[in-house]
Structure 1
Amino acid sequence: MQLILSGVTIDIELHAIHIHNDEPLWKLLSKDPEQNTELLVAGILQAYETQYHRKLEIAPGSLAVEIWGHVYIDQFADYTARLTDLNLVKKLLYPVQKYCAVIDCGEKDHDTNRWFWDLLAPLKATIGGWLPKEAKTC
């Protein structure tokens, strides 16, 4: 099943969700990323439960830090690739960009790196404090 929440495309399947890491997601996270991520995560978890009549066994904090990890690594790779004309650098960044294009989030038994995001989840507030905030105007 595919759904769109706040302009962000999400594919939902049993035991996993797949978030398209593209302009609509970046735009959503460009203003108040912590709050908008919480709203997106809540919407995803609710849609999953509605579709499968069971909760997705991923903690909201784990899902949030996984989204941030992929989004900001992808943005860094894109920015770095635009700064250079060196094909070697672009070739090295391409696998990162390809890997980050869709954020695959699965339950523990269906996602080999769920342990990593679960490990970072208790640091969500700290990580959230590092995120770029909306630019303030005078």
Structure 2
Amino acid sequence: MPTEKIYELSGHKLLVVFDEQLVRLKKPKALQKFLSTDIDIRSEVLANYIKQDYFLFIGKEFEITNDSLIVEIWGHVYASYFAKAMKNLVKLKLVENVADFIINRSDTIDCGEYEVDSNRKFWDILAKFKGIILTFLPKKIK
């Protein structure tokens, strides 16, 4: 049975759903606003809370490294951000369709362990480049 928790961090309400081998982050707009400043520190704080509460709710460690979890969250948050910007800049039906696909896919943030998340290996590889990725992220999201 999934368990929900609302985190109130820096004035933002973030909804996380905990399930066996999986956490789901809801309310992507609130998450995007939360990560709009101090992304590195705020991401680490959120990952620590998630992993701590996963242990409390599920009764075992969440088998995802902090860096892998953080990079996956960034991937979803910023893919959506860039897709929306692209859609506003380029008024072509094909571009709008691709942007809508990215927005719909990235707004569902499911972070799962290897057995339930076919993308885990991808995020683990990207996690090795977290510092480099951080330098390319916008310093502020409007």
| Fold agreement, TM-score > 0.5 | yes
Q: How does 1:1-138 map to 2 (within 5 A)?
A: 1-5=3-7, 6=9, 7-20=13-26, 22-134=28-140
SS at match of 1:109: coil
Counterpart CA distance in 1 for 2:59 and 2:135 is 34
Aligned residues: 135
> Which aligned runs of 4 or more in structure 1 are off by greater than 6 angstroms?
none
Q: 1:26 Cα deviation (Å)?
A: 0.9
Letter matched to residue 3 of structure 1: K
Structure 1, unmatched stretches of 5+, are none
- State the structure with bigger RCO (CA 8 A, min sep 6), 1 or 2: 1
Moved more, 31-40 or 16-25: 16-25
Counterpart CA distance in 1 for 2:21 and 2:27 is 19
Q: 1:8 Cα deviation (Å)?
A: 1.3
Distance 1:109 1:92, change over 3 A: same
| Contact kept in structure 2, 1:21 and 1:103, CA below 8 Å | no
Counterpart CA distance in 2 for 1:121 and 1:21 is 23
Distance 1:51 1:12, change over 3 A: same
Q: 1:134 Cα deviation (Å)?
A: 4.5
Counterpart CA distance in 2 for 1:78 and 1:87 is 14
SS at match of 2:129: helix
Letter matched to residue 113 of structure 2: E
Return the TM-score normalized by structure 1.
0.90
Q: 1:84 Cα deviation (Å)?
A: 3.3
Let me know the Cα RMSD of the aligned residues: 1.5
Structure 2, unmatched stretches of 5+, are none
Counterpart CA distance in 2 for 1:45 and 1:117 is 17
Q: 1:88 Cα deviation (Å)?
A: 2.5
Q: 1:85 Cα deviation (Å)?
A: 3.1
